[in-house]
Amino acid sequence: MIGVFDSGSGGLTVMRALEHALPTESFIYLGDHGNAPYGNRSPADIYDLTLRGIERLFGLGCSLVIIACNTAAATGLRQLQQTWLPHAYPQHRVIGIIVPMIEAITGMPWEAQATTATLTDVTPAGPALHVAVCATRHTVNSGAYVTEIAKRAPTIRVTQQACPELARMIDDGATDDEIRPYVGTYIGELLVPPRDVPDVCILACTHYPLIEHLFREVLPSRVRLLTQGDVTAASLQRYLARHPRFVSAEAAATVYLTTGDPVHVSAVAGRFYGRVVQFQGLS
């Protein structure tokens, strides 16, 4: 059984892609709605809450957990993988949604230590590839994408753009007309001269696939947009092929859990998932 952890409902855009790509797998989705949003919390709080959510999923029978939250993954994934997991749960694994995107951008597996890449998975290879990262302020401040891309492909230029209001507005059910000016402002800041137009734009927040069309409206047509759901699903397929012991033995099914109000969360979740989702409460 595979666990999927998020601070709220945004991770459902990843969960949807996982179910589509891996229809025979069994999943448990845990949204920590009772403590959301994580973006307003300290790194120590985010780490502790993430650790608690992962432990809950381990306790429910998951031996592999995906952190489907950029803020949580950027803040504490490496620390818990290196310091907590080997001692507390040595046979379990925790992976995130940032690594698959780094792999897709650089064309290199995470284990690789070389400093060059072909980039053919994203766009024709070239030393001047320019990647834009649109994300929450917390993810931008972490520098996770800049640091990890530079380690594997230092010729790639990375420009970050914080979009601090978008996730909250999506959670609040704002309309396209209400959100559109904000997207226009953020992309205007991204493209302000003398910056050039990026080749690739990563929507590095799991909420943003719901407004991908608004980004598409204001970005030049030649800019390729990447969202995390399909990239993460493809990466998980490869991971399970390399580590078949994590393939679910149970019949395919997905359970949805929340630390918040399950009635309210269920009512909102359909916007992220594209269909009705029934969450169960987890205190």
Please give the structure tokens belonging to residue 190. 């991204």
Q: Is 205 a catalytic residue?
A: yes
Q: Is 69 a catalytic residue?
A: yes
Report the distance separating Cα 21 and Cα 90, nearest Å.
28
| Catalytically annotated residue among 69, 134, 163, 201 | 69
Report the distance separating Cα 266 and Cα 256, nearest Å.
9
Report the distance separating Cα 260 and Cα 256, nearest Å.
12
117-to-146, 150, 154, 156, 229 alpha-carbon distances in Å: 15, 11, 9, 9, 23
Report the distance separating Cα 138 and Cα 157, nearest Å.
20
Q: What is the DSSP letter of 219?
A: S
Q: Phi, psi (5° rounding) for residue 242?
A: -80, -25
Radius of gyration of the chain (CA): 18
C-beta separation of 232 from 96 below 8 A = no
Report the distance separating Cα 33 and Cα 30, nearest Å.
9
| Catalytically annotated residue among 134, 163, 201, 205 | 205
Report the distance separating Cα 279 and Cα 8, nearest Å.
12
Please give the structure tokens belonging to residue 250. 């149970």
Q: Phi, psi (5° rounding) for residue 159?
A: -115, 130
| Active site residue ranges | 69, 205
